[in-house]
Amino acid sequence: MSIFQTILLSIVEGLTEYLPISSTGHLILASDFLKVGQTPFVKTFEIFIQLGAILAIVVLYFKTITTNFKLWPKIIAAFIPTGIIGLILYKLIRTYLLGNTLVTLLALLIGGIALIILEKYYHEKIGATSALSDITYKDAVILGIFQSLAIIPGVSRSAATICGGLLRGLKRTTAVEFSFLLAIPTMVAAAVLDIYESQAAFSKQEYLILGLGFLGSFVTAILAVKFLVSYVKGHDFVMFGVYRIVLSVIFAVFILSR
């Protein structure tokens, strides 16, 4: 990987991690477009730079993380389904799903359609859960099950969790912010597991690439999080659904025309 490819991919990760459009899917498509081969190091890079996006949440939600202790057991409860499924299917995911452009395009397309359908029939109720502290353990576990769908690249961890939150009666902003916080144990666990399983010995150049990727995703993730929190206060997710569909079609045409 070149420095240019590293910076571009880290920006893609940071901007898309928390939007319901699949950061993993975008990284796979961007890597394909940039002709970055899906080597074991590249797969590790794509997972590792998510830690930069996680640091953005820690910085932006530091007060919530360090003072709302009753929320953490619910976050862990939501993480458990994803953790179990991810651990069991790790080798399958890394070998056959990560880097699979066809699977990614299909997941982006289907996910986009699902978002549009959900918004067509979803109407926020007057008594919708508005405070993170009011999320129940049942809500948390169900959101965790929805999140586990994101083991398929292109589904979007954020989109799956937010959709689960809306179906459970959470306000949009509450579903989005819980999705942010749930990303912390989920993505840290994924990065640690990948580094442990790969047992890789990186070169100085590769460490530099990992560092640049981490920094790039951190900075751009802060911008993306602030945008999404502001956006959902007055808009639904239809735009993201349309974007996913258009992106999947454009890339499908691009790939078939090569």
pTM of the model: 0.87
For residue 14, the model assigns a pLDDT of 96
Average pLDDT over residues 117-141: 89
Q: Whole domain around residue 146: which residue ranges? A: 3-256
Q: Which helix (H) or strand (E) holds 242?
A: helix 238-256
- Tens digit of each residue's pLDDT (9 = 90 or more) over 49-61: 989 999 999 999 9
β-bridge partners, 170: 129
User: Does position 256 have pLDDT exceeding 80, yes or no?
Assistant: no
Dist. CA 167–CA 14, nearest whole Å? 27
Under 8 Å between Cβ of 166 and 66: no
For residue 195, the model assigns a pLDDT of 74
Average pLDDT over residues 90-99: 76
Which phi-psi region, left, alpha or beta, contains residue 13 (left: φ > 0; alpha: ψ -120 to 50)? alpha
User: Does position 240 have pLDDT exceeding 80, yes or no?
Assistant: yes
- Tens digit of each residue's pLDDT (9 = 90 or more) over 5-30: 999 999 999 999 999 999 988 988 89
In the chain, the amino acid numbered 56 is A
Q: How many domains does the chain have?
A: 1
Q: Which helix (H) or strand (E) holds 94?
A: none
User: Does position 41 have pLDDT exceeding 80, yes or no?
Assistant: yes
Under 8 Å between Cβ of 161 and 175: yes
- Tens digit of each residue's pLDDT (9 = 90 or more) over 151-196: 888 899 999 999 999 999 999 999 999 999 999 998 888 888 777 7
**Average pLDDT value for the chain:** 90
> Residue 114 burial by CB count (10 A; 0-12/13-18/19+): exposed, middle or buried?
middle
Three-class DSSP category at 170: strand
Q: How confident is the model at residue 200 (pLDDT cuts 50, 70, 90)?
A: low
For residue 199, the model assigns a pLDDT of 62
